[in-house]
Amino acid sequence: MNEKEAQELLEQRLARLRSQSYAELVQQIGDVSSFEATGPTGASYQIEIQFIWDDQQDGNIRVMGAIDDGGIRAFMPLSLSFIMSPAGKFIDE
C-alpha cells in the first residue's frame, strides 16, 4: 500500500466531514460508511468512516477513518480521527 497516497485520500475525506456542523455529525452517530476510492496511481482503497460519542451521549463526537488496500493492511489499516465538541470546536488540536 502506498501509505502517502492512502493518507492523502483519507485526509481529504475527513476534511469534508470536518466542515460539517456538530448537528450534522450528530445525525450520523452510529453510522459506519464503507466505500472504495481510487488514488492518483490507480490503486484501489477501501475506506471506512465511523461516527461515535467520544465519552458520553450529547458530548464530544469522534469521527474515525480507516483505509487499506485490501491486502494484509486490512488487518492493520492506516487510521485518522478527529473529535468535535458540542460547541463546534476541535479537541486536542
Q: Which of 57, 79, 89, 83 is nearest to 9 (CA)?
A: 79
Q: Letter for the amino acid at 51?
A: F
In which residue are the cell numbers 460547541 written?
87
Domains of the chain, start order: 3-84 (3.30.1300)
Rg of the chain, C-alpha, whole Å: 14
Q: What is the pLDDT of residue 55?
A: 87
pLDDT band, very low/low/confident/very high, at 71 (cuts 50, 70, 90): confident
Going by C-alpha positions, the residue among 12, 61, 79, 19 that lies closest to residue 40 is 12
Average pLDDT, the chain: 94
| Residue pLDDT, tens place only, 15-43 | 999 999 999 999 999 999 999 999 999 99
**Side chain identity at residue 20, one-letter code:** Q
pTM equals 0.90
